[in-house]
C-alpha cells in the first residue's frame, strides 16, 4: 500500500532524512518513533506530497509521489503536527470547508460531515466554535478533517502532543477505532504510545532508519540473553555469590538491597534452578520474574548508540 524507496531530503548539504526504505501493508498501523529532529515530520510531508523528496521515491496505492500527487491526496488524510483548524469557525462549517478543499462532491458533503463527526465523537459539539473547544476536542476536529474524504490511509503527526493525560487516552482510543477501517502511520516520540497503538515500528534517528520490526521482534532481536529478576526477604547471606556460582550464569547484578538481576544465555530458562537455590538457602522469594529488555531500553540503545566520528 505504501512503498518507500531510497527516500532522502536534503536541506542544503545536510540530510533531514537519508535513504529511507520501508513498506506499509493495507490495514497496518505503523508507528514512526524517534526523538525530536529525527525526520518524522519531513518523511510524512513527503508522503503527503507537501514536500518534494530530494532523492528516491515512494508509491502510495500504486501512485507515484512525483507523477500522481493528485491521486495520492485523495487516498491520504493528513493530520499535521499543528492541526489546521480555524479557531473562529463552527465545527460543521469547518468540516464543510475541508470537504470542499478535498474535492468531496457537493451532494455527498452532508453525509461526509456526518460520518466524520460520528467517527470522531463530535456530534454533540458540531455547532460549537472550534476556539471554544478543549484541546482534546480540537484534535478530534483535526482528525475529522483528515477523514472527511474517507481516505484509505491516515497519516497522523504526533497526534497526542500537547494534550492532557485524559485527552491522550481518548485520542488513542479514537485512533485504535479508526485502525479497523484505515491504514495508519502515526509518529510519536513517546514509546508507550507506539507500543499501545502500533503493530509495527519504524525507529528513525538522525534521518535514518535504526530499526523496523514488530515490538516483539525488536525485543527479541536485541536481546542477547535472558534476564531474571529475583527479590528476596533475606538478602544478607551471600545471595550474589551463590547465584554467580550457578552453572551457566553470565552475570548477576544487584539492583538494590533485596533485588538481583540474573543474566543467562538465550533459551536457557533459569527460573527453576534459581527457585530451587533460593528455597534451599531459605532466602524467602518475594518475586521471581522475567526482566526482559523493555521497548524503552531498545529505543535508547538504538538512538544513543555511539557512532564512529572520523576526525
Q: Which residues bind ligand ADP (CB under 6 A)?
A: 11, 16, 34, 36-42
C-alpha cell at 191: 514509546
CB of 64 to ligand ADP, least distance (A): 22
Residue whose Cβ sits closest to Mg ion: 41
Please list, in sequence order, all residues whose beta carbon lies within 8 angstroms of the beta carbon of residue 157, skipping any fewer than 6 positions away: 40, 41, 44, 78, 79, 80, 81, 186, 187
Pairing of strands 76-79, 153-156: parallel
CB of 154 to Mg ion, least distance (A): 16
Provide the residue count of the chain: 311
Pairing of strands 29-33, 183-188: parallel
Of 40 and 231, CB closest to Mg ion: 40
39 binds, among Mg ion, ligand ADP, none (CB under 5 to 8 A by kind): ligand ADP
Alpha-carbon distance 140 to 153, whole Å?
17
42 binds, among Mg ion, ligand ADP, none (CB under 5 to 8 A by kind): ligand ADP
Of 54 and 242, CB closest to ligand ADP: 54
Of 171 and 202, CB closest to ligand ADP: 202
DSSP 3-state helix, strand, coil percentages of the chain (rounded to 5)? 35, 30, 35
Of 40 and 227, CB closest to ligand ADP: 40
Write the DSSP string, 219-277: HHHH--EEEEEEEES--TTTHHHHHHHSTT--EEEEEETTEEEEEEETT---HHHHHHH
CB of 153 to ligand ADP, least distance (A): 19
Q: Which of 201, 212, 175, 157 is nearest to 41 (CA)?
A: 157
38 binds, among ligand ADP, Mg ion, none (CB under 5 to 8 A by kind): ligand ADP
Q: Which of 8, 41, 138, 303 binds Mg ion (CB under 5 A)?
A: 41
CB of 204 to ligand ADP, least distance (A): 7
Tell me the β-bridge partners of 90.
129
CB of 76 to ligand ADP, least distance (A): 17
* SS3 at position 86: coil
CB of 157 to ligand ADP, least distance (A): 7
- Candidates 38-46, 98-106, 252-260, 275-283 — which segment interacts with Mg ion by CB under 5 A? 38-46
Please list, in sequence order, all residues whose beta carbon lies within 8 angstroms of the beta carbon of residue 173, skipping any fewer than 6 positions away: none
C-alpha cell at 13: 548539504
Of 61 and 302, CB closest to ligand ADP: 302
* SS3 at position 175: helix
- Candidates 35-43, 57-65, 70-78, 296-304 — which segment interacts with Mg ion by CB under 5 A? 35-43
Of 16 and 171, CB closest to ligand ADP: 16
159 binds, among Mg ion, ligand ADP, none (CB under 5 to 8 A by kind): none
Of 38 and 122, CB closest to ligand ADP: 38
- Candidates 24-32, 34-42, 161-169, 188-196 — which segment interacts with Mg ion by CB under 5 A? 34-42
Please name the residue that has the C-alpha cell 499535521.
80
Interaction site with Mg ion (CB under 5 A)? 40-41
Amino acid at each position: 500500500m505504501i512503498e518507500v524507496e531510497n527516500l532522502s531530503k536534503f536541506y542544503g548539504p545536510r540530510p533531514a532524512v537519508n535513504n529511507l526504505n520501508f513498506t506499509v501493508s493495507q490495514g497496518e498501523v505503523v508507528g514512526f518513533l524517534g526523538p525530536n529532529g529525527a525526520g518524522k515530520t519531513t518523511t510524512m510531508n513527503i508522503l503527503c506530497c507537501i514536500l518534494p523528496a530530494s532523492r528516491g521515491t515512494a508509491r502510495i496505492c500504486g501512485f507515484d509521489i512525483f507523477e500522481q500527487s493528485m491521486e495520492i491526496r485523495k487516498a491520504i488524510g493528513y493530520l499535521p503536527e499543528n492541526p489546521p483548524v480555524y479557531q473562529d469557525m463552527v465545527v460543521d462549517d469547518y468540516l464543510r470547508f475541508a470537504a470542499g478543499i478535498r474535492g468531496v462532491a457537493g451532494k455527498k458533503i452532508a453525509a461526509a460531515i456526518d460520518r466524520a463527526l460520528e467517527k470522531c465523537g463530535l456530534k454533540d459539539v458540531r455547532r460549537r466554535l472550534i476556539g471554544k473547544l478543549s484541546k482534546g476536542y480540537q484534535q478530534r476536529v483535526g482528525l475529522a478533517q483528515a477523514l472527511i474524504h474517507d481516505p484509505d490511509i491516515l497519516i497522523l503527526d504526533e497526534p497526542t502532543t500537547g494534550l492532557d493525560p485524559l485527552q491522550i487516552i481518548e485520542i488513542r482510543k479514537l485512533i485504535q477505532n479508526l485502525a479497523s477501517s484505515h491504514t495508519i502511520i502515526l509518529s510519536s516520540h513517546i514509546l508507550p504510545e507506539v507500543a499501545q497503538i502500533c503493530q509495527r515500528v519504524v525507529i528513525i534517528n538522525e534521518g535514518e532508519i535504526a530499526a523496523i520490526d514488530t515490538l516483539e521482534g525488536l525485543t527479541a532481536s536485541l536481546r542477547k540473553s535472558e534476564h531474571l529478576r529475583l527479590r528476596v526477604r533475606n538478602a544478607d547471606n551471600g545471595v550474589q555469590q551463590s547465584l554467580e556460582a550457578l552453572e551457566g550464569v553470565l552475570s548477576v547484578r544487584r539492583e538494590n538491597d533485596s533485588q538481583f538481576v540474573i543474566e543467562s544465555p538465550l533459551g536457557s530458562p533459569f527460573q527453576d534452578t534459581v527457585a530451587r537455590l533460593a528455597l534451599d538457602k531459605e532466602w524467602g522469594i518475594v518475586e521471581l520474574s522475567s526482566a526482559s529488555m523493555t521497548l524503552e531500553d531498545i529505543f535508547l540503545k538504538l538512538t544513543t548508540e555511539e557512532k564512529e566520528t572520523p576526525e
